[in-house]
Structure 1
Amino acid sequence: MVRKMGSSVRSFVRFVTAIVVLIALPTCLLFAQTSTATILGVVKDASGALVPGVSITIKHTESGLTRTVVSGERGGYNVPLLPVGAYEITTTMPGFKQQVRSGINLVVGQEAVVDLTLEVGAIGEQVTVTEEAPLVNTTTSSTSGVITEQQVKDLPLNGRSFDQLITLNVGVSNATSNTLDSGNWNMFSVAGKRPETNRFIINGIDWVGGNANGQYITPEGASRQMLGVEAVREFNVLTDTYSAEYGKRAGGQISIVTTSGTNQLHGSVFEYLRNSVFDARNFFDQTTGAPPFKRNQFGGALGGPIKKDKMFLFGTYEGYQERLSRSSASIVPGTCARQGLFPDAAGACAPVSGLKPEML
């Protein structure tokens, strides 16, 4: 009996460990090219001469992720596939002072050009640049449609469906009223193209949501909303003339990056209520006052480190409850029609000529 119980406990521990690993894996910093950013530039000395062989360390300050590269023969360096967020650059080269550059904040799809100028001196000396200098993005125009983390979290959203922010971009219009589903889901026309030609990418993976039947409409959940504002860090809308790593669809490319855990424990709890108290009666409503309506959205998010600089965990939950009354106009058979009669010129019910009883 004791041996069987010990075996069951070990099996349970292995099962729980596997679940934790599966949950933690999505938070690992592994991203596709369409959902990441790049830092590149040239290293020079004070005279403007190119400096090869410089060790350059890129550190993601939120998670502690570090990448180290060495400048090439022409002083250039390139660090692709970086998660979005704040970064710090440190250079090391014998005969030059160590330079620490902070204040670099990358957004999805960005290629940030950060040129470095080294000063002659002992390697033990350090030059720290903390000013948030503007990053010149001369290599690509793919960041023109970025909706930042602050915009996603702070701008008011009716229903907390973050896709409504897509219309903040030039050339994007809401085409919900033109849908064949009576406007039950949000649809957008990007640069004049059809809404179903848009492509949604989440962390580099094509996202079709519950619409896995091949219809490339806006992804949605059971509530007909794209919930999870707490889980969305930022997203980028490419309207046209995008580069080769994008494609598959002729419309806009909407690349979404989710929130992940960091070295700092963070979380939130929320409750949003909307009801008919302040609503006006619709013209077609045959009611006294506005029809009953009550919507509750509630939930929370929590993220933090499992092992500092190594493994992180982030989770979010959002509940959606809605009680909504809608007025609708329908055509039904009248009193005469239900008897197989037809109103004459005087309005009286009269038999229809040639109508057979079996036709009713």
Structure 2
Amino acid sequence: MKIQLRKNALTLAIAASLGMSGMAVAADTSSSIKGQIVGPQGNPAADTKIIIVHEPTGTRRVVTTNDTGTYNASGLRVGGPYTITIDSNKFRDAELRNVYLSLGEAQKIDQQLSELQMESIVVTGTPVLFNSSANDTYYGADAIKSTPSINRDIKDVVRNNPLVVIQPGSDSSMTIAGSNPRTNSITVDGIPLNDDFGLNSGGYPTQRNPFPLDALDQVTVQVAPTNAKSSGFTGGNVDAVFKSGTNEITGSVFYEKMTDSWAGTPKNNGKEVPLEFEEENYGFSIGAPLIENKLFFFGAYEKYESPQSIEWILQVLVLALTRQKSHKTT
């Protein structure tokens, strides 16, 4: 007798972001900028305004340098591009464009201003993919989207780090720098998604990736980080954040299917071995502004279905019990 079991994986990720200056965001889900602004002679440029604009959403953050010319802007959205304007009452203003921020990292941006009579200079930044540690890597939305992934798993993204190894097999356990898979940690928007009870060798609390891959905005791989904010694990850390919408209406739809009718029939010692499998994976994502430059929405949905057959030899068991009962009766 065959009993058909159907596995359903239903994941829903919804994120909303309020683009206000001064909004407090957890350090593990955001980025920051710090640095020092000085004048032509190298003296600190106090009371200089630093205007930080996130171009996709139009959100602004304004900070002012202190007496030493230093500033710090925390709680910024990851990615970019950002446009940073340095507004000074004494010296010529400066502008930095195409600045990208990495998850959980403080990017240092120093600038020396020129005299007012000098020609304006525009400095163009480039995306930052690595921090000071050569072992840590950062993957943005474009890198995540272009990464081939049959199972739509975040592990297919982080395996681009040369120190990350995904073991073969259905469990796909992950090792970082040779550490035991159970010593690693995976967090999304600051929430741990680890197998605390040790029921799954894949590291997740579920059998498959527990969230839609299209919902990821940025992924960070940290190899054995040694800082106070990283705790609860002894191996590596995979940190990710969800998208939260922009001023543009975006969306995507996908459908994937695998079935035995599309595959050949393998042979064992010249004998055909029929295959029985069928998998369907489909979903969509949508992002839109609710209030331009202030409130945004993003949602992603993904479902996985795979009927599996488990054979129970019930007839043999029933026959054995029947014989045992009749033996006792006689």
Q: TM-score, normalised by structure 1?
A: 0.71
Residues 242 and 215 of structure 1: is their aligned pair in 2 closer, same or farther, counting only changes over 3 Å? farther
**2:180 matched residue in structure 1:** 194
Give the root-mean-square deviation of aligned CA atoms.
3.7
Matched-pair contact (CA < 8 Å) for 1:142–1:242: no
Matched-pair contact (CA < 8 Å) for 2:14–2:300: no
The Cα shift of 1:256 comes to 0.8
Mapped to 2, the partners of 1:35 and 1:312 lie a distance apart of 17
Q: Structure 1 unaligned segments of length 5 or more: list them.
A: 1-22, 178-182, 341-356
CA deviation profile, 1:182-214 (whole Å, cap 9, x unmatched): x4x432122222212221211122234xx5657
Residues 73 and 278 of structure 1: is their aligned pair in 2 closer, same or farther, counting only changes over 3 Å? same
Mapped to 2, the partners of 1:52 and 1:215 lie a distance apart of 57
1:33 aligns to 2:27 (yes or no):
yes
Mapped to 1, the partners of 2:215 and 2:46 lie a distance apart of 41
Residue identity in the other structure for 1:49: N
The Cα shift of 1:284 comes to 6.4
Matched-pair contact (CA < 8 Å) for 2:155–2:174: no
Matched-pair contact (CA < 8 Å) for 2:16–2:298: no
The Cα shift of 1:229 comes to 1.2
1:96 aligns to 2:91 (yes or no):
yes
**2:204 matched residue in structure 1:** 219
- Greater shift, 164-173 or 295-304, is seen at 164-173
1:134-213 aligned at under 5 Å gives the runs 140-141=132-133, 144-175=136-167, 177=169, 183=170, 185-208=171-194, 213=197
Mapped to 2, the partners of 1:239 and 1:284 lie a distance apart of 44
**2:46 matched residue in structure 1:** 52
Mapped to 2, the partners of 1:27 and 1:283 lie a distance apart of 55
Mapped to 1, the partners of 2:276 and 2:126 lie a distance apart of 53
Residues 274 and 113 of structure 1: is their aligned pair in 2 closer, same or farther, counting only changes over 3 Å? same
Task: Give the one of 301, 305, 329 matched to 1:317.
Answer: 301
The Cα shift of 1:225 comes to 3.2
How many aligned residue pairs are there? 302
1:120-139 aligned at under 5 Å gives the runs 120-121=115-116, 127-129=121-123, 131-133=124-126
Task: Give the one of 290, 301, 305 matched to 2:289.
Answer: 305
Q: Structure 2 unaligned segments of length 5 or more: list them.
A: 1-12
**2:55 matched residue in structure 1:** 61
Identical pairs, percent:
23
Matched-pair contact (CA < 8 Å) for 2:102–2:129: no
The Cα shift of 1:235 comes to 0.9
Residues 31 and 206 of structure 1: is their aligned pair in 2 closer, same or farther, counting only changes over 3 Å? farther
The Cα shift of 1:305 comes to 0.8
Residue identity in the other structure for 1:146: Y
Matched-pair contact (CA < 8 Å) for 2:100–2:126: no
SS at match of 2:52: strand
The Cα shift of 1:324 comes to 5.1
Residue identity in the other structure for 1:219: Y
Mapped to 1, the partners of 2:105 and 2:134 lie a distance apart of 7
The Cα shift of 1:278 comes to 5.3
Mapped to 2, the partners of 1:286 and 1:207 lie a distance apart of 46
Residues 117 and 28 of structure 1: is their aligned pair in 2 closer, same or farther, counting only changes over 3 Å? same
The Cα shift of 1:120 comes to 1.8
The Cα shift of 1:136 comes to 10
Residue identity in the other structure for 2:97: S
The Cα shift of 1:236 comes to 0.9
Matched-pair contact (CA < 8 Å) for 1:267–1:303: yes
The Cα shift of 1:238 comes to 1.0
